[in-house]
Structure 1
Amino acid sequence: MFTLHKNLSPSVLTLNLNKMKNINRTILTLFICILFVGCVKVKEDLTGQPTSDKFFHNITDFQSYMAGAYAPLFQDNFTFEGDYAFIAEAGAEDIYHRIGRWRGFEEVNINQVSNPDEIVRPLWNGAYSSISVSNTLIGLADTSKIEKTLLNPVIGEAKFLRALNYFFMVRWFGEVPLLTEKNTIEATSLPQSTVTEIYDFIVADLIAAEGFLPAIQTNASQPTKGAASALLAKVYLTMAGFPLNQTAKYALAKDQATKVMNMGIYSLNTNFSDLWNWNNRLTNRELIFTFYANSQSGGGSQLHMVSRPGTNSEQGWGDWGTDKRF
């Protein structure tokens, strides 16, 4: 070790060999200890991975885990909090985006996306995060010892939500990876499935969900048997058109829609404005399936802000609105 001594005489640089020997012995001892410690076999506790022996002991555990499949649909403005409504309309001419407000909306509006991180990636990640939760739950439910009559409604909910996510993805992106295994979220590392394969998987999930789900849920934001049939009708209707053009699906869509109407559970409101009456949100018989956003996130959704004019009276963001030609 080098030390600098300052006395009355000029500073001199001296080499303290004794100190160096002591330090070298200390370093060598520590290094040997590290080698022995490094050879110890460590039993890894994967606390972040849900397994049947750690968490899924009763039906309440499955229900609690299922709630996590909804959260990704509202994070980062994904889907129903804001972006989905714009993406759904951006390809047509009935809405517009205010130039210069947000580059992401502007690029989607003209079908020239240069930065996928702004809108496209949150849509992709949100859907596959939700799908991953459903996959995990379905996989663990298959091996669970809990009575199947208790598990089936939760399995039906997971299959319904997985089908709903894939229905979004196949219409947004076309061919996408079809993930069906638990805890699989690496959607970019697997090959893409064809549009036909994805739609066939959606149909199978919804048919299974329809058989598992109850006609009425105690929680208004959970899917029901009618919700599965209604979504299946829409899926069949979509398959009958572009790009599959499976016109035989029109009859199947009609059958599913008729089934929903004949349930005696749903009906149209006499007053159209009642659809948006907050006091009727849990009892509105026209709503077949509804996401109820977190009320702590602004008004529960950002849709009202992005579409409201940015004037003093409206106090919105004015990101996009209806084209005056429509």
Structure 2
Amino acid sequence: MTFSCAGFLEEDTSSFLSDHVVYETDGGTESALAGVYSGMCDYEYFPSGYPNLVSASSGGLFTNHSSSKDILKMEALPTNKYLNNTYEAIYIAIVRSNSVIAKVQDGGASQAVKDRAEGESRIMRAICYFNLVRLVGGVPLRTTPTTTETIHMPRASKEEIYEVIIDDLKKAQTLLPEENPVKGRPSRYAAHALLAKVYVTLAGNDNSSSYWKMALEEGKKAYGKYQLVPLQELYDVKNRNTKEAILEFQLTNAGGRANYWTRMIAPANSNHTPLATANPYGRIRPTKYLYDNFVSQYPGDPRIDLSFIHNSYTSRDGSSVTITYPDVDSTISSSNRAKESFPYILKFLDNTYTASGSTANFIYYRYADLLLLLAEAENEVNGPASAYTFVNELMKRARECVSPPAAEPANWAGMTQEQFRERIMQERRFELLGEQHEFYDLRRRGPEFLLDYIKKHNAHPTNNFKASSSSYSDIQYPETMEFVTKAMLLPFPQTEIDSNNMISDEDQNPGY
């Protein structure tokens, strides 16, 4: 039995029924837990708002959407709608998680169901706070059911937020089964894998940090518990909850819980989109630097054709072909620049979606990501000798997704620790393209890392026009420590400042 994220209570279940009724039976407890997932799958969270926010503001992708110009430039306004709407949606999920965590063990449901409901809710709360602390820094730390006395709270420190995240994940490891009986729900191994990602984030750019060893230990507990699947199978959105999925959210095109990522990435009026009534926007695009970096590193890598719509695409009715990057001519007319200036993202594109959206699930964390984190942590702890094992599993998968197997990408070998460190961050951009990791990966190694990336991006020559001539050329970012230090976080949302008596404009993030 798989719960979708639609059709469940829009608010905390206890606001409609007494706690006794809700948590007294297995069915009532499952309904309360389903409300948590409904919050995670709210339109403004994983189906639409969150991907828009973290992709456009990352510095690693491009958008031509007018409402995202400020975040594209890494100069987000505190009033940006994606920032504020996503922030509010995340807290809806937190409130619902808090309710289950606080009340479920006092109910009359079976112990197995109570433990699983608490464990899953703790993972969901950990995900929410992990997203918030990396996006905006310290936030109000709400961990109990909200009352009139606790609505107004100051910003907690990042350290306090991470304490709750780590505690939730450790407790989830003891509460959850090795295999969740509900398909698409996390197991205890998902808690280990997520904690490994948390520790890698805390390690930051300190190559001697003890967090690297902790990340390696946690990640190895989940190693081998999931499997890589063929890329064509992985990228086909009809294949839900594959063996590669660690954390995957079940979406549906009913009740406002549809996946809108296809509409954000697909070219308008193309053969990748079935309906004129649901024409996509092609808003989120790879930068030319990212595309060219991928192609130059691995010429002939089958992932290129599986990940990008590049060179050209055909119209929906087959009557015309649109030339796009990198084959686009530098003199294209201004009317076509939006369509032709950049490649498009192909992976996870759904060409069967309807006007109500796509039923494709949202994959938050997959095994390939864990393998890259294990390789990174192993390199920091012991050097590259044993780290190759993890990353070469991905190289082999990529080569063998075509028949006969391709020559590229070749197995990694012969690198220094520093060379491996640089390459693994590059590989994350290639393997996880468009999966909403760019914002975090460009920042967790510190402002110097972000500045170095910006310099490479700015200096990258293209066969297209320069930034000064069109709004559809690559953004040129300021190459100063002041700029990147500010850009490490988004601004603190204005809606929280305006509605919270214990937070004022003086509590805004530096530089905003």
> Could you say which TM-score interval applies, normalised by the shorter chain?
0.7 to 0.9
- Which position in structure 1 is the counterpart of 2:281? 317
- Which position in structure 1 is the counterpart of 2:71? 108
Higher relative contact order (CA 8 A, sep 6+): 2
Match of 2:31 among 50, 54, 64: 64
Q: What CA deviation, in whole Å up to 9, does each residue of 1:11-40 have, x standing for no partner?
A: xxxxxxxxxxxxxxxxxxxxxxxxxxxxxx
Match of 2:50 among 64, 84, 87: 84
Asked whether the equivalents of residues 41 and 249 of structure 2 are also in contact (C-alpha less than 8 Å), the reply is no
Query: Sequence identity of aligned pairs in percent?
Result: 24
Give how far 1:309 is off.
1.8
Q: Secondary structure at the match of 1:119?
A: helix
- Which position in structure 2 is the counterpart of 1:273? 232
Q: Secondary structure at the match of 2:22?
A: coil
**Aligned partners of 2:253, 2:231: CA distance in 1, in Å?**
24
Q: Secondary structure at the match of 1:201?
A: helix
Q: What CA deviation, in whole Å up to 9, does each residue of 1:121-169 have, x standing for no partner?
A: 1111111111111111111124334453441111101111111111011
Asked whether the equivalents of residues 51 and 140 of structure 1 are also in contact (C-alpha less than 8 Å), the reply is no
- Which position in structure 2 is the counterpart of 1:260? 222
Tell me whether 160-169 or 316-325 shows the greater mean CA deviation: 316-325
- Which position in structure 1 is the counterpart of 2:263? 305
**Aligned partners of 1:246, 1:124: CA distance in 2, in Å?**
34
Structure 2 counterparts to residues 11-90 of structure 1, below 5 A: 48=15, 50-75=17-42, 77-90=43-56
Structure 2's unaligned 5+ residue stretches are 1-12, 274-278, 291-512
**Aligned partners of 2:156, 2:256: CA distance in 1, in Å?**
38
Structure 2 counterparts to residues 228-267 of structure 1, below 5 A: 228-241=191-204, 247-262=209-224, 265-267=225-227
Residue type of the partner of 2:204? G
**Aligned partners of 2:26, 2:120: CA distance in 1, in Å?**
13
Q: TM-score, normalised by structure 2?
A: 0.49
- Say yes or no: does 1:94 pair with 2:52: no
Give how far 1:248 is off.
0.8
Q: Secondary structure at the match of 2:62?
A: strand
Give how far 1:272 is off.
1.6
**Aligned partners of 2:254, 2:113: CA distance in 1, in Å?**
32
- Which position in structure 2 is the counterpart of 1:179? 142
Asked whether the equivalents of residues 177 and 187 of structure 1 are also in contact (C-alpha less than 8 Å), the reply is no
The two structures, once aligned, show a CA RMSD in angstroms of: 2.7
Rg (Cα) greater in structure: 1
Asked whether the equivalents of residues 66 and 158 of structure 1 are also in contact (C-alpha less than 8 Å), the reply is yes
Give how far 1:266 is off.
1.1
**Aligned partners of 1:93, 1:111: CA distance in 2, in Å?**
7
**Aligned partners of 2:233, 2:148: CA distance in 1, in Å?**
40
Q: TM-score, normalised by structure 1?
A: 0.75
**Aligned partners of 1:217, 1:323: CA distance in 2, in Å?**
39
Give how far 1:92 is off.
3.9
Q: Secondary structure at the match of 2:29?
A: helix
Q: Secondary structure at the match of 2:98?
A: helix
Distance 1:58 1:126, change over 3 A: same
Distance 1:186 1:280, change over 3 A: farther
Distance 1:308 1:178, change over 3 A: same
Asked whether the equivalents of residues 23 and 109 of structure 2 are also in contact (C-alpha less than 8 Å), the reply is no
Give how far 1:306 is off.
0.7
Distance 1:47 1:78, change over 3 A: closer
**Aligned partners of 2:148, 2:137: CA distance in 1, in Å?**
18
Asked whether the equivalents of residues 230 and 257 of structure 1 are also in contact (C-alpha less than 8 Å), the reply is yes
Residue type of the partner of 2:239? N
**Aligned partners of 1:316, 1:90: CA distance in 2, in Å?**
16
Structure 1's unaligned 5+ residue stretches are 1-45
Give how far 1:96 is off.
1.2
Distance 1:231 1:86, change over 3 A: same
**Aligned partners of 2:148, 2:203: CA distance in 1, in Å?**
30
Q: Secondary structure at the match of 1:130?
A: helix
